[in-house]
Amino acid sequence: MTKIRDSELLERFGDHLKGIRTGKGLSQEEVAYRADIPINQVGRIERGEVNTTVSTLFALAKGLEVPPAQLLSFEPSLSQG
Amino acid sequence: MTKIRDSELLERFGDHLKGIRTGKGLSQEEVAYRADIPINQVGRIERGEVNTTVSTLFALAKGLEVPPAQLLSFEPSLSQG
DNA sequence: AATTATTAACACATATATGTGTTATAAAGC
DNA sequence: GCTTTATAACACATATATGTGTTAATAATT
């Protein structure tokens, strides 16, 4: 128990976000500004350091100009739990 | 600033989750068991009391037997920010 | 090399999610 | 009425996300 964080999932999620961002040619700063969240937070999320929240997901979707659901559209791991 | 939570969004999100769950005829307890999270947490999320995390979203998707992205597929508010 | 742009890393206070246990409602069936 | 099932509500400790500020490292440009 005391799982809570789940590093592998968060790293993959971060990579997915970064892929969307770079695919659009946006900097972390631009995304942070549009999403109205600190640039440091964008970096931490992309690096998989934090397990971000629903409200931040919606903010990021706005900043990245994609539907929120797209942020969760990726393969979470090699083997499903 | 000091927004962080965003009650309206979280209430809508909770309603959306509850809609998926009841639409499948599942109890909170069943979902909690399958998602391996406390039943209390499921309730708090459905009631919009907490701003849950990415890892819990994936757990809930598993418990509800839907793709994670579906959990974010709803209209977040009457007027877009 | 120096400047600029971009990202990472670090520290810290505060808010809050999670996990756990317990108790209260509410509805349904006996 | 009692029991079962389902959900809500409360309390509390702990982990951690967020927000903020600062500094370092890494490109890219000139």
- Inter-chain CB proximity A54 and B10 less than 8 Å: yes
pLDDT given for residue A5 in this prediction: 85
Distance CA B11, CA B62 (A): 21
pLDDT given for residue B59 in this prediction: 98
Mean pLDDT of all residues belonging to chain B: 92
Chain B residue nearest residue A57, CA to CA:
B54
Asked if B7 and B48 count as a contact pair (C-beta separation under 8 A), the reply is: yes
Distance CA A44, CA A58 (A): 16
Put simply, whether the predicted model's pTM sits higher than 0.85 gets the answer yes
Contacts of A58 in chain B (CB under 8 A): 6, 9, 72, 76
pLDDT given for residue B54 in this prediction: 98
pLDDT given for residue B47 in this prediction: 97
Q: Does the C-beta of A79 come within 7 A of strand C?
A: no
Distance CA B53, CA B60 (A): 10
pLDDT tens digits, one per residue of A11-70: 999 999 999 999 999 999 999 999 999 999 999 999 999 999 999 999 999 999 999 999
Compute CA distances B72 → A26, A59, B68, whole Å: 23, 12, 8
pLDDT given for residue B79 in this prediction: 53
- Inter-chain CB proximity B55 and A4 less than 8 Å: yes
pLDDT given for residue B5 in this prediction: 85
Whether residue A1 has pLDDT greater than 60: no
pLDDT given for residue B80 in this prediction: 44
Structural domains in chain B?
11-72 (1.10.260.40)
Which pLDDT band, with edges at 50, 70 and 90, does B2 fall under? Answer: low
- Inter-chain CB proximity A58 and B9 less than 8 Å: yes
